[in-house]
Amino acid sequence: DVVMTQSPLSLPVTLGQSASISCRSSQSLVYSDGNTYLQWFQQRPGQSPRRLIYKVSNRDSGVPDRFSGSGSGTDFTLKISRVEAEDVGVYYCMQGTHWPWTFGQGTKVEIK
Amino acid sequence: EVQLVESGGGLVKPGGSLRLSCEASGFTFRNAWMSWVRQAPGKGLEWVGRIRSKTDGGTTEYTAPVKGRFTISRDDSKNTLYVQINSLKTEDTAVYYCTTELVDLFDYWGQGTLVTVSS
């Protein structure tokens, strides 16, 4: 199985500052159709996961433009600019290129 | 508005069975590919399995730990997704979410239903 490794696992941030989460895959996530199926999800405390980003850098409808995704091959990053209190939660990357689809361990974002 | 409402969770003894349901609305269910994802208490997310639309064959895939014990199915006349879980193990204890593939993978999620396997 493809292993998705996130870092850091815990990320204390100051309100208004930026935060970055790294996600590395054990294999390239480029699919045979040329797409890279790397998604990012946010899970606020007590809530269901919510997709933020799909195919590396495509922001979902309603997601603030403070969230951005980048990367290629095996290295990916989620950046949160100007962190707000509502951004507290756990963030997961997930690959949908290789069976079985796999998630990272999660990165807990909290306010300092 | 897309809505997914899971039900059917509960407390079950090891070796028991359970069927979870996910009632969908707000999109054309019969055309949608659907998945189940689970989350053990205090842990991360694990993809369980997926079913394609009947138009695309209605076939299923599963992750290895559940293959042979979990069966995903759908009733397009009821806009409902199911997962039949047999031979339950304590490690199956989790919140089970259904999720859609309308625009790429896992774009909408339900609120989840908790399955607890304990004697």
Q: Do A96 and B105 touch (CB under 8 A)?
A: yes
Best A3, A55, A94, A101 member to test B by mutation, with max B CBs in 10 Å, is A101
Gap from B72 CA to chain A (nearest CA, Å):
16
Beta carbons of B44 and A92 less than 8 Å apart: yes
Judged by CB atoms closer than 8 Å, whether chains meet at B110 and A48 is answered as yes
pLDDT value at residue B34 = 97
Structure tokens at B114: 């908790």
A41 touches A49 (CB < 8 A): yes
Q: What is the mean pLDDT of residues A19-31?
A: 98
The C-alpha of B88 sits at a distance from chain A's nearest C-alpha, in angstroms, of: 21
Q: Please report, as a single letter, which amino acid is at residue A31.
A: Y
At residue A16, the pLDDT reads 96
Query: Which residues are paired to A19 by β-bridges?
Result: A80
86-105 of A, contacting B, C-beta below 8 A: 92, 94, 96, 99-105
Residue A38 has pLDDT above 90, yes or no: yes
Render pLDDT for B46-66 as a digit per residue (tens, 0 to 9).
Answer: 999 999 999 999 999 999 999
Residue B84 to residue B119: CA distance in whole angstroms: 20
Residue A102 has pLDDT above 90, yes or no: yes
* CB distance A83 to A76 below 8 Å: no
| Pairwise CA distance, residues A101 & A76, whole Å | 16
| B44 at interface of A, judged by CB pairs closer than 8 A | yes
Contact between A66 and A6 under an 8 Å Cβ cutoff? The reply is no
Contact criterion met (CB below 8 Å) for B115 and B12 = yes
Contacts of A87 (CB under 8 A, 6+ apart): A19, A42, A66, A80, A109
**How buried is B57 (Cβ within 10 angstroms: 0-12 exposed, 13-18 middle, 19+ buried)?**
exposed
Residues near B77 by Cβ (< 8 Å), separated by ≥ 6? none
Contact A102 B111 (CB under 8 A): no
pLDDT at A9: 98
Do the Cβ atoms of A74 and A112 come closer than 8 Å?
no
Residue B104 has pLDDT above 90, yes or no: no
Is B75 within 8 Å of B45 (Cβ atoms)? no
pLDDT value at residue B110? 98
- pLDDT of B103 higher than 90: no
Residue B18 pLDDT exceeds 90 = yes
d(CA B5, CA B7): 7
Give A64-94 pLDDT, tens digit per residue.
999 999 999 999 999 999 999 999 999 999 9
CA distance A77 to A64: 16
In 3-state terms, what secondary structure has residue A97? Answer: coil
How many CA within 13 A on the CB side of residue A46? 1
